């Protein structure tokens, strides 16, 4: 059974940085795509960033230049480096991996507040 374990969320001041990690296990195959979505209170879940096995990346337009996604194929781990955080980046961040279907992590809370 595929399992995703996220870590790295928390409380940070505006302008600060956080690094999220998500380790996938339980699959014989490397996921074609791994990435992150987020969901703010009262809002729909939206794509943050994704990265393919070959390293191709995709970002939400509003996050380009501040967020960086990367992955370690050897360990099936995906990372999200978030810099210059703003209060509007507050949300639950969900890791996902695409195999024969999409699998989701449990979510990690990111709160940007002074």
- DSSP string covering 15-74: T--EEEEEEEES-SS--SEEEEEEE-TTS--EEEEEEETT--EEE-GGGBTTEEEEEETT
The stretch 38-57 carries a mean pLDDT of: 94
Average confidence score pLDDT of the chain: 93
Secondary structure of residue 112 in the 3-state scheme: strand
Q: Which 8-state DSSP code applies to residue 75?
A: T
| Residue pLDDT, tens place only, 32-42 | 899 999 999 99
The stretch 8-20 carries a mean pLDDT of: 97
The stretch 17-29 carries a mean pLDDT of: 88
Contact 111, 86 (CB under 8 A): no
* Strand-strand pairing, 102-104 and 18-25: unpaired
């Amino acid at each position: 059974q595929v399992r995703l374990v996220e870590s790295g969320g928390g409380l940070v001041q505006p302008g600060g940085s956080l690094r999220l990690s998500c380790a996938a296990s339980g699959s014989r195959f490397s996921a074609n795509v791994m990435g992150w979505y987020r969901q703010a209170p009262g809002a729909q879940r939206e794509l943050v960033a994704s990265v393919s096995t070959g390293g191709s990346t995709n970002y939400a337009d509003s996050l380009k230049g501040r967020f960086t996604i990367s992955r370690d194929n050897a360990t099936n781990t995906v990372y999200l480096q978030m810099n210059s955080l703003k209060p509007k980046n507050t949300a639950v961040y969900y890791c996902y991996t695409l195999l024969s279907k999409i699998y989701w992590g449990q979510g990690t809370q990111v709160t940007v507040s002074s």
